[in-house]
Amino acid sequence: MRAVIQRVSEASCRVDDKITGAIGHGFLVLLGIEDADTDEDLQWLAQKITNLRVFGDENGLMNKALADIDGGILLISQFTLFAQTKKGNRPSFIRAARPDKAIPLYEKMKSTLESLINKKVEAGIFGADMKISLVNDGPVTIIMDTKNKE
């Protein structure tokens, strides 16, 4: 699994001009799932996301986690995070998991994050043409890949 985590002061997702999810302060998480991903990968990544200390404390240092600021999560599926661009100019997405594998893992990631932060995780719609709006706070953008756990 690969995630791009952006610290935001607000973020929202629209599908067909309807808001499917919106948050104030917190994380916009773009999540890519590949065929090799396991439940272990999911658990590791969910823990890392929810415990990531990138929010400012009283001294302006990045010392606080999501729970410390009562932040939200907007979770967006994004298979393009597994684009392969070595050859030619048209990316290949062969490593991205097909919907029959990706959808259950995406839904499980959503419920796992909800249990870790004790609040509803806002989300896009898997496979839809989504319009994402955000105000990146900082900017702070972190990339995590479960293949780089060590």
The one catalytic residue among 38, 50, 80, 85: 80
Q: Is 50 a catalytic residue?
A: no
Tokens of 96: 């991205």
Burial of 65 (0-12, 13-18, 19+ CB in 10 A): middle
Tokens of 141: 């953008």
Of 143, 122, 112, the residue nearest 14 (C-alpha)? 122
Residues 6+ apart with CB under 8 A from 14: 20, 130, 131, 132, 133
Active site members: 80
